[in-house]
């Protein structure tokens, strides 16, 4: 997909961070952009910003953890534009702590958004992309956490490994079907986003229970304090656009980056049947 002008892009988790940057990047390509997020006010603010710059933008409040809401989003986009070309399943949250001490609500919430949110999106949008027969692309946001391992982050790391596997499977299935739809899995390094403040969007039914343990405080404080020094989301969006144009599946941190080195170390450990590291930066 070289010429994106006039085509339709959908981005979830679009009210902040990587999602907002993807929305801006697609708008700059003169695409028609649909932004979705559970945060209504910030979502409208992003949409207003892009409209002021001349983009054709729609904002649809959507909780990706709820299948019916994602299906409604897909139907609304189809009814409005008739064609859906690029879909970015990007919404994500973070929770840390020891695997045996993390409350079940952490696992449930992280999986509801990071895994089930992508499953709902793939089920709702991919059939519509296939139906119109035009070239398209699916972007699934994982993380370098999806190709590495680390302590104190089990719900998050598990979720990112899961969507990496889903993305690989989707890529193989669409290729087997001869579909003109590419797939990319976005695995960024630490990015300057508010993922360390994910609790601001935690629903009441997944309210965190139990005492706060040292490891939880350690990792969540580290995430909150370090993201401001992370990669600019606009750079991640540019990386993603390049992958879409090149029909490239893996969108990883650059060679020489510590996270890429950690990925190589993990792959070497698997190849040689060595015990896990950890090799991720700061672990």
Q: What is the CATH number of the domain that holds 104?
A: 3.40.50.720
Buried b (16+ CB within 10 A) or exposed e, 5-21: eebbbbbbbbbbbbbbb
What integer pLDDT is reported at residue 273 of this predicted model?
97
b/e map of 238-250 (b: 16 or more CB within 10 Å)? ebbbebbeeebeb
Distances (CA, A) of 187 to 18, 47, 62, 220, 239: 11, 25, 23, 20, 10
Q: What is the pLDDT of residues 6-51, one digit of tens each?
A: 999 999 999 999 999 999 999 999 999 999 999 999 999 999 999 9
Percent of the chain at pLDDT > 90 equals: 93
**Alpha carbon distance 171, 184 (integer Å):** 8
Q: Provide the annotated active-site residues.
A: 156
- Residue entry with tokens 């990319």: 184
Neighbours of 200 (CB within 10 A): 8
- The two three-digit tokens of residue 32, written as one number: 């028609």
Does 282 reside within a domain?
Answer: no
Name the least confident of 27-36, 156-165, 200-209, 260-269.
200-209
Per-residue model confidence as pLDDT tens digits over 71-107: 999 999 999 999 999 999 999 999 999 999 999 999 9
Average pLDDT of 110-121? 98
Q: Looking at residue 90, what is its pLDDT?
A: 98
Give CA–CA dist 6/56, Å, rounded.
10
What gap in Å lies between CA 64 and CA 129, rounded to an integer? 18
pLDDT given at position 283? 62
- For residue 176, pLDDT over 90 is answered with yes
Is residue 274 domain-resident? Answer: no
For residue 87, the surrounding DSSP H or E stretch is strand 86-89
| Helix 104-111 with 154-176: angle, nearest 10 deg | 30
Q: Note the pLDDT tens digit of each residue in 45-68.
A: 999 999 999 999 999 999 999 999
Residue 209 pLDDT:
77
Q: Establish if 2 belongs to a structural domain.
A: no
Q: Would you say residue 275 lies in a domain?
A: no
| Mean residue pLDDT across the chain | 95
Q: Is residue 129 part of a domain?
A: yes
Cβ atoms of residues 247 and 183 within 8 Å: no
pLDDT at 280: 79
Domain count, the chain: 1
Helices of type H across 3-94? 17-28, 40-52, 67-81
Residue 97 falls in which region: left (phi positive, over 0), alpha (psi -120 to 50) or beta: left
Which pTM value belongs to this model? Answer: 0.96
Look up the domain containing 126 and give its range.
8-257
- Would strands 32-37 and 181-186 be described as parallel, antiparallel, or unpaired? unpaired
| Position 1 pLDDT exceeds 90 | no
Q: Does 210 have pLDDT greater than 80?
A: no
What does DSSP say about strands 181-186 and 250-251: parallel, antiparallel, or unpaired?
parallel
How many whole angstroms separate alpha carbon 64 and alpha carbon 266?
A: 31
Helix (H) or strand (E) holding 187: none
pLDDT at 59: 98
- Look at 2-6, 12-16, 110-114 and tell me which has the smallest mean pLDDT: 2-6
| Alpha-carbon gap, residue 156 to 162, rounded angstroms | 10
Does a structural domain hold residue 140? yes
Average pLDDT for 110-118 = 98
For the segment 167-187, the average pLDDT, to the nearest whole number, is 98
Mean pLDDT of 171-184: 98
Percent of residues, the chain, with pLDDT higher than 70: 98
Note whether residue 1 is domain-resident.
no
pLDDT band at 282 (very low <50, low <70, confident <90, very high): low
């Amino acid at each position: 997909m070289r010429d994106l002008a006039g085509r339709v892009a959908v981005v979830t988790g679009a009210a902040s961070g990587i999602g907002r940057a993807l929305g801006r990047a697609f708008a700059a390509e003169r695409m028609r952009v649909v932004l979705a997020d559970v945060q209504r006010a910030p979502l409208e603010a992003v949409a207003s910003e892009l409209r002021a710059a001349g983009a054709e933008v729609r904002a649809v409040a959507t909780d990706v953890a709820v299948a019916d809401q994602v299906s409604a989003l897909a139907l609304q986009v189809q009814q409005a534009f008739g064609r859906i070309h690029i879909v970015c399943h990007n919404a994500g949250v973070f929770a840390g702590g020891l695997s045996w001490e993390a409350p079940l609500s952490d696992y449930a919430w992280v999986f509801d958004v990071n895994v089930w949110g992508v499953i709902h999106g793939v089920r709702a949008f991919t059939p519509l992309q296939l139906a119109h027969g035009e070239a398209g692309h699916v972007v699934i946001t994982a993380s370098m956490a999806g190709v590495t391992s680390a302590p104190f982050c089990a719900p998050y790391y598990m979720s990112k490994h899961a969507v990496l596997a889903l993305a690989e499977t989707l890529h193989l299935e669409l290729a087997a079907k001869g579909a003109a739809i590419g797939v990319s899995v976005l695995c960024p390094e630490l990015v300057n986003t508010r993922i360390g403040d994910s609790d601001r969007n935690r629903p009441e039914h997944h309210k965190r229970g139990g005492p706060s343990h040292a490891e939880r405080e350690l990792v969540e404080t580290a995430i909150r304090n370090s993201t401001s020094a992370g990669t600019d989301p606009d750079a991640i969006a540019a990386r993603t656009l390049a992958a879409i144009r090149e029909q490239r599946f893996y969108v990883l941190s650059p060679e020489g980056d510590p996270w890429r080195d950690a990925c190589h170390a993990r792959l070497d450990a698997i190849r040689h049947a060595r015990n896990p590291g950890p090799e991720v930066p700061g672990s």
